[in-house]
Amino acid sequence: MRNAGKWSVVGIMVDAVDYEAATDFIFCAAREKRGIAVSALAVHGVMTGVLDAEQRFRLNHFDLLVPDGQPVRWVLNRLHDAKLSDRVYGPNLTLKVCARAAEQGESIYLYGGTSEILSALSHSLQERFSGIEIAGAEPSRFRRLRPEEKSELTNRILKSKASILLCGLGCPRQESFAFEFRDALSMPILAVGAAFPFLAGLIPQAPVWMQDRGLEWLFRLISEPRRLWRRYLYLNPAYLFLVALQATGLWEFPTKGTLPLREQLFG
């Protein structure tokens, strides 16, 4: 088990952890009924914090940010000597959390995506993990929530008696959600993004050899060019440039961010 603490990746404080350490942290909080915010960050997630001071504040106040993307892990290893042998890939972390939840009798709540995705995901998880308890599943509204809707959603999740909430709203909405609901729900909130459609079997995952070489972005770009071309063709080169600045010491990236002036209430 490895947990080497938080380190700056162009100003975003990412935890140098492995799967075991991340899963242990999540279940410790679940047993204690302690609200924590967890996200699996690839390059896109890191860059949302670089480009938005309020989002940087949110991310750097998360309890756990795991290196979802290989390029994020590589920076932790190269610049901070983290010695991580693998990334902590959001879909795989989701599977490990679900496996342990089934073993330990902890229930999960699924929030985000469409009704079709949630139905397929619930079926997939129940097939994979005998006895897993899904306390609730609720699709995204794909808009900002009104204050009364936030209160109603909080009450529904708490009434379900779920131990862990898996949030698949997509980046950066899911990170805003986890940041804003953490204290109200008093349970671990995992922002896992594409894990929902991936594990539901509705979107193909990149071959392992592409994942290991940091080429998952290319597979996803080819699969969904209209939706993702701006994300990858702009943000990936920008990330590499900023990492080079950090590596050479030419720029010191701020980590503080700006306190959000109002809740985003995405749902």
pLDDT score recorded for residue 33: 95
pLDDT score recorded for residue 264: 61
pLDDT score recorded for residue 266: 63
Domain count, the chain: 1
Domain annotation covers residue 205: no
Give 131's DSSP letter: T
Please state, for a pLDDT cut of 70, what percent of the chain lies above it: 97
Q: Is the pLDDT of residue 265 over 70?
A: no
Q: Is the pLDDT of residue 263 over 70?
A: no
Domain annotation covers residue 171: yes
H/E stretch holding 208: helix 208-212
Domain annotation covers residue 237: no
Long-range CB contacts (within 8 A, 24+) of 157-160: 157/109, 157/111, 157/185, 158/185, 160/107, 160/109, 160/135, 160/136
Question: Are the C-beta atoms of 108 and 83 separated by less than 8 Å?
Answer: no
Q: Is the pLDDT of residue 152 over 80?
A: yes
Amino acid identity for residue 112 in this structure:
G
Question: Are the C-beta atoms of 247 and 79 separated by less than 8 Å?
Answer: yes
Domain annotation covers residue 259: no
Domain annotation covers residue 180: yes
Domain annotation covers residue 238: no
Question: Are the C-beta atoms of 16 and 80 separated by less than 8 Å?
Answer: yes
Query: For position 31, which CATH number holds?
Result: 3.40.50
Question: Which residue has better confidence, 122 or 260?
Answer: 122
What's the pLDDT tens digit per position in 10-48?
Answer: 999 999 999 999 999 999 999 999 999 999 999 999 999
Q: Is the pLDDT of residue 1 over 90?
A: no
Domain annotation covers residue 107: yes
Containing domain of residue 65, as a range? 3-200
The average confidence (pLDDT) of the chain is 93
Average pLDDT in the 182-205 region? Answer: 93
Domain annotation covers residue 40: yes
